[in-house]
Amino acid sequence: MALQLKQFGQGEPLVFFHGWGFDSSIWFSLLPHLEAQYRVILVDLPGFGSTPFINWELFQEKLLAQLPQIFSVVGWSLGGLYATHLALNMPNRVKRLLNVASSPCFLRKPYWPGLSAKEFTLFNERLQSSPQKTAQEFIAFHTRGLLEYKQSLNFSYFGLMEGMRVLEQWDLREPLLSYPHQVGYLFGGCDALISTQTMHRMRKCYSHFDYFFLKRATHTPFLSHPILFIEALEDFMQ
């Protein structure tokens, strides 16, 4: 089974991972700005869009078989965790890592900001009882009329639940310290999910990373402030 990657343009390969509840079409509005400079590769994560639910190891194997030998990756929200995991596993393939409205650890830990266990548990319980409704409400809240297309909500229950497991269990803070290539993080000042406290903490822990801050941007900075987002991306890629 081959993955149905969406590819546009020519130039340096740039792979995009979407967030929880969405699929790769979330990036479509950026294509006019990107495809003249980059070979844009949009990926549906397991259980979302055109990709059936499969485990991460099998997905990674199939994905790497279809990607160029060397590429950069952009991960948004949950996609940032997947992108980071891929970069850590394959530093010989991933030359740059840019995470957007994301964190190497989403849950609150000692001396680390994030979602509280109570917040996470309440959302998870709502998701299990009403998966479609909960996902729709999440998408509506974090896009709030910014989408130029009707979100298809093409996801599986197992994809949603696996995404929640990853958000809860993956803590990549320590291994990220040893990643040998360029890393960037972009944050929005009006992000209701990833607070600016995460950015401040990361600046202390990873002072060698590149940081971008869009003061009025939401959890979807590429939708709320596309031009500023593109400028930050191009700055990172230079």
CA distance 51 to 23: 9
Nearest to 60 by CA among 25, 24, 87: 87
Instruction: Give the residue carrying structure tokens 């989403």.
Output: 106
Name the region of 179 (left: φ>0; alpha: ψ -120 to 50; beta: rest): beta
Residue 87: CB atoms within 10 Å: 25
**For this structure, is 208 an active site residue?**
no
**For this structure, is 116 an active site residue?**
no
Answer yes or no: are the C-beta atoms of 50 and 63 closer than 8 Å: no
**For this structure, is 33 an active site residue?**
no
H helix or E strand, kind and range, residue 71: strand 71-76
Catalytic residue among 77, 102, 103, 224: 77
Catalytic residue among 44, 191, 224, 225: 191
CA distance 29 to 33: 8
Name the region of 204 (left: φ>0; alpha: ψ -120 to 50; beta: rest): alpha
Catalytic residue among 44, 219, 224, 225: 219
Query: Catalytic residue numbers?
Result: 77, 191, 219
